[in-house]
Amino acid sequence: MKHVLLDTQVLIWYLEGDERLPDHIKQLIEDSSNNIQVHIVSFWEIAIKRSLGKLLLSQSTISLIRECIRQHISILPLSPEELTSVESLPFYHRDPFDRLIISAAVSNGLLLASSDEQFDDYPVTRIY
């Protein structure tokens, strides 16, 4: 069993059926023996980008959340430990949502499914 946190982009590509998502990551997500998680900040990021007109999706944000629940993708809440951890992260990456996702992966000992190579500068195991 693998414990995996999905980056926002990977989540979007998966739920939208985007061909840019590698087959091995799709199979990893769909393997019911794995514990697949997404952080609540990913939905916050999606909602903000949609409201700014920077992200067009076929589904509403609440539909994405419901689809995660339907597919047994756990939604991680923001924890005090993650906030403490994000304070001590070096600033290799300045995106606040990504920093919280990195912090969650570090704090919870999760593999991180992401195409973002900047994540490799942090003490996480990125799979993609």
Query: Domain 3-127's class?
Result: alpha beta
pLDDT (mean) for 86-111: 92
Round to whole Å and give the CA distance between 90 and 9: 22
pLDDT of residue 128: 87
Measure the CA angle with vertex 33, ends 28 and 36; round to 5°.
55
Give long-range contacts, CB 8 A cutoff, 24+ apart: 26-31.
28/2, 28/4, 28/113, 28/127, 29/4, 29/73, 29/113
Domain spans of the chain, in order of start: 3-127
Lowest pLDDT segment from 20-34, 48-62, 81-95, 113-127: 81-95
pLDDT (mean) for 9-33: 97
pLDDT tier at 103 (50, 70, 90 boundaries)?
Answer: very high
User: How does pLDDT run across 25-79, given as a tens digit for each residue?
Assistant: 999 999 999 999 999 999 999 999 999 999 999 999 999 999 999 999 999 999 9
In our burial notation (b when 16+ CB lie closer than 10 A, e otherwise), range 58-87 reads eeebeebbeebeeeebeebeeeeebeebbe
